[in-house]
Amino acid sequence: MTINYSDRIPNNVDLGSNRTLQRALEHWQPEFLKWWEELGPKDFQVADVYLRTATSVDAKGWATYGYVRMPEYRWGIFLNERDPNRRIGFGDNFGQEVWQQVPGEYRATLRRLIVTQGDTEPASVEQQRMLGHTAPSLYDLRNLFQVNVEEGRHLWAMVYLLHAYFGRDGREEAEELLERHSGDADKPRILGTFNEPIRDWLSFFMFTYFTDRDGKFQLKSLAESSFDPLARTCQFMLTEEAHHMFVGDTGINRVVRRTLEVMHELNTDDPQVIRNAGAIDLPTVQRYLNFWFTSSLDLFGSETSSNAASYFANGLKGRPDEAQYEDHIAVEQAYTLELPDGSGGTKSEQIPMRNAMNEVTRSSYVRDCEIGVKRWNRVIEKAGHSFRLALPSTRFRRSIGNWAGVPTTPEGVPMSAEQFTEHKQAWLPSESDQTFILSLMHGVHQPGKMAAWIAPPDRGINNNPVDYEYVKLH
């Protein structure tokens, strides 16, 4: 199979004249397409989907809209333009020139970071592959597929780096990115959250709000990297990520709005009555939020991490928005952590700032998550209800780090395992919650029509009306 490079793979990496890269991609591209057909969105491969495609990095080309069949999507390779004056912004090499090639001593670590990032992208497509059948509207169906093709493009972005800068082991890693699969017993995806099934649209909206936002913060950290091609790749990926979080933010907002309408119509806040009317009661929304927020917290790694300290020292991975900090060396500062004391209480511990970088990033993430919660709560407040959604404590239901396996209340107060089991049903989606949510999931595929559990969006995509035929099914 030969590839017409500028047409088939839009790029700004001069792919047309790079033979080595072409050979690597000629081998990998058919494997990618095979993977897409087998594990990408199930059954919608011949639908015409109104998608945006990035055809260049400038304002005009980064979002070109039109109908596309997904297997024909033009997965491109884009890096932000190179800034010839860019300098290392943090760590022991602060102020030195950034690297255009991978320094030998950091090769294995950088490859590991790129593979970990790359692994999440196809994983999320696999997790979401069954959702097309139960989309609450054509508008939502289109958004799902937009997210999916762009996660595919983000995989291409990481594979480009592996092929272009890591030789044979990079090519092998690129192949393995298509061999691990979400939830696979033998070859699972690397990070926990990406092995969780996403069977329903409430989970999809929670995932795009909370887990894609982890993506935002991890990409922001990598966008600071001294390895300039990685930094520039991640800077461009961030422009696409914003829409994914928008899908989650507005999706949850619309679920809440519909619930409030039903509460108003029936003059009740009784969860069972709301459920009987086909809407999702707010305590259930809270339980799904608890699940996906806490799962996403784990993606930042341990509170104390010598890995994170050396990524920072060596200039591989910075803090999100590193420029906002005064001290970019961070060798003399300390960070105070509240940790479990092993006997049901907590203790304070000071650790070197560099070892706390995962926690610094996690804290910025939590503050960003709060913004949406406040917005959803304003909608609830305006409707005259006292119920409030809330982010649980970063200690709650953790599987990674110092709080892993320590039972606490959603407010973060340690408790016994027995007490936790007793209250779990109130805090996390139970089997009956999941059965109920799944019972609402039926595809609505007529333009402009919405499922009964979700309000319509305020506006359509790219100035089109909400009842536009965003997906043409054949």
Question: Contact, 284 vs 433, CB < 8 A?
Answer: yes
Say how many residues touch ligand BYC, by CB under 6 A. Answer: 25
Rule CB under 6 A: is residue 400 a binding residue for ligand BYC?
A: yes
Rule CB under 6 A: is residue 235 a binding residue for ligand BYC?
A: no
Rule CB under 6 A: is residue 214 a binding residue for ligand BYC?
A: yes
* Near ligand BYC by CB under 6 A: residue from 301, 318, 392, 457: 301
Tokens of 443: 């595809």
Nearer to ligand BYC, 140 or 196 (CB): 196
* Near ligand BYC by CB under 6 A: residue from 29, 64, 307, 377: 307
**Which strand (E) or helix (H) includes residue 346?**
strand 346-352
Among residues 254, 125, 262, the alpha carbon closest in space to that of 181 is found at 125
Nearer to ligand BYC, 284 or 358 (CB): 358
By CB under 6 A, the residues from 376 to 395 that bind ligand BYC are none
Which one of 17-25, 132-140, 295-303, 452-460 is the stretch in contact with ligand BYC (CB under 6 A)? Answer: 295-303
By CB under 6 A, the residues from 440 to 469 that bind ligand BYC are none
Question: Contact, 312 vs 354, CB < 8 A?
Answer: yes
* Near ligand BYC by CB under 6 A: residue from 198, 299, 406, 441: 299
Q: Give the Cα separation of 309 and 318 in Å (integer).
A: 10
Alpha-carbon dihedral 257, 259, 260, 264, rounded to 10 degrees: 140
* Near ligand BYC by CB under 6 A: residue from 76, 89, 170, 215: 215
Rule CB under 6 A: is residue 224 a binding residue for ligand BYC?
A: no
Cα–Cα distances (Å) from 432 to 278, 279, 286, 419, 436, in that order, read 15, 15, 15, 20, 6
Rule CB under 6 A: is residue 206 a binding residue for ligand BYC?
A: no
Nearer to ligand BYC, 135 or 299 (CB): 299
Rule CB under 6 A: is residue 300 a binding residue for ligand BYC?
A: yes
Nearer to ligand BYC, 216 or 254 (CB): 216
Backbone dihedral angles phi then psi of residue 254, each to the nearest 5 degrees: -70, -35
* Smallest distance from ligand BYC to CB 119, Å: 8
Which one of 9-17, 208-216, 256-264, 371-379 is the stretch in contact with ligand BYC (CB under 6 A)? Answer: 208-216
Nearer to ligand BYC, 18 or 402 (CB): 402
List CB contacts of 312: < 8 A, sequence separation 6 or more: 90, 91, 318, 319, 330, 354, 357
DSSP states of 236-284: HHHHHHHHHHHHHHHHHHHHHHHHHHHHHHHT---HHHHHHTT---HHH
Which one of 3-11, 112-120, 283-291, 389-397 is the stretch in contact with ligand BYC (CB under 6 A)? Answer: 112-120
Nearer to ligand BYC, 308 or 380 (CB): 308
Q: At what angle do helices 417-427 and 282-297 cross, to 10 degrees?
A: 120
Q: Give the Cα separation of 70 and 58 in Å (integer).
A: 24
Rule CB under 6 A: is residue 212 a binding residue for ligand BYC?
A: yes
List CB contacts of 80: < 8 A, sequence separation 6 or more: 57, 232, 233, 235, 236
DSSP 386: -
Q: Give the Cα separation of 259 and 177 in Å (integer).
A: 40
Nearer to ligand BYC, 299 or 428 (CB): 299
Coil vs helix vs strand at 472:
strand
> What are 340-346's contacts with CB under 8 Å, separation 24+?
340/395, 340/402, 340/403, 340/406, 340/414, 344/414, 344/415, 344/416, 345/414, 346/414
By CB under 6 A, the residues from 337 to 366 that bind ligand BYC are 358
Number of H helices, E strands in the chain: 14, 5
Rule CB under 6 A: is residue 192 a binding residue for ligand BYC?
A: yes
Which one of 49-57, 118-126, 259-267, 408-416 is the stretch in contact with ligand BYC (CB under 6 A)? Answer: 118-126
Interface mask toward ligand BYC for 121-150; x: CB under 6 A: x--x--------------------------
Which one of 55-63, 299-307, 370-378, 451-459 is the stretch in contact with ligand BYC (CB under 6 A)? Answer: 299-307
Which one of 110-118, 196-204, 344-352, 427-435 is the stretch in contact with ligand BYC (CB under 6 A)? Answer: 110-118
Nearer to ligand BYC, 180 or 317 (CB): 317
Query: Interface residues with ligand BYC (CB under 6 A)?
Result: 113, 116-117, 120-121, 124, 151, 191-192, 211-212, 214-215, 218, 298-302, 305, 307-308, 317, 358, 400
